[in-house]
Copies of this chain bind each other. A is one copy, B any other.
């Protein structure tokens, strides 16, 4: 399988060892930026060449133009790290519980702990937890917005009214607490790691961060 697809890929910088200007000239069909005239002051001794280049340039991109038939047949195989997180009932239950409990943007520690716990019910990573909260929050919000718009339809008692039954606040006032938690400081943790070996155990709470090419496919 020759992977001749490695066209752009961070654009040459990681590939070209010696040349740095023309190397990526034709790599991309579009946007052939020429920075030649730009005289960026040489960053002294910054040898880009020493950067290791992502040898696996695979990126399936271009998604096989010819093959679309294999819909279900593919050995779903599910090699580690290929598919997206598919939460189990228990995991979702816990997450929703936490959400209802008021959690909106868990911090590092919390994510770590949640991940660790949820890991007992299925494979999961910190980013999944992180994303889940972001998505859930956003979607609850838009759901609510949509419904409020729908309610606007019947101006009957639309206004400020709504003496606010305590019941509703759970779904309607959710926003509040969010603003409370805002502007926190996010800290990042990064560690090189091969996604393959990610299936070790809960002990290892190292998840991957940053984009890393799939390299599988």
**Chain A interface residues toward B at CB < 8 A:** 7-14, 20, 23-24, 26-28, 30-35, 38, 40-46, 48, 50-52, 54, 59, 61-62, 64-65, 69-76, 79, 82, 88-90, 92-94, 96-98, 100-103, 105-115, 117, 120-122, 125-127, 130, 169-170, 173-177, 179-193, 195, 205-214
Contact of A187 with B173 in the complex, beta carbons under 8 Å: no
* Number of identical protomers: 2
Q: How far is the CA of A46 from the CA of B93 in the complex (A)?
A: 10
Contact of A40 with B180 in the complex, beta carbons under 8 Å: no
Can you give 13 A-B contacts (C-beta < 8 A)? A10-B101, A10-B181, A24-B94, A33-B177, A35-B101, A41-B93, A42-B90, A43-B94, A43-B97, A76-B184, A108-B210, A184-B214, A187-B195
A51 partner residues in chain B, CB cutoff 8 A = 110, 113-114, 117
Contact of B212 with A185 in the complex, beta carbons under 8 Å: yes
Partner of A97, one of B13, B180, B181: B13
Contact of A30 with B187 in the complex, beta carbons under 8 Å: no
Contact of B103 with A13 in the complex, beta carbons under 8 Å: yes
Main secondary structure of the interface of A (DSSP, over half): loop
Contact of B189 with A28 in the complex, beta carbons under 8 Å: no
Contact of B206 with A190 in the complex, beta carbons under 8 Å: yes
Contact of A205 with B192 in the complex, beta carbons under 8 Å: yes
Chain B: which residue is nearest A216 at the CB level?
Answer: B185
Contact of B211 with A176 in the complex, beta carbons under 8 Å: no
Contact of A34 with B170 in the complex, beta carbons under 8 Å: yes
A97 partner residues in chain B, CB cutoff 8 A = 13, 20, 23-24, 40, 43, 46
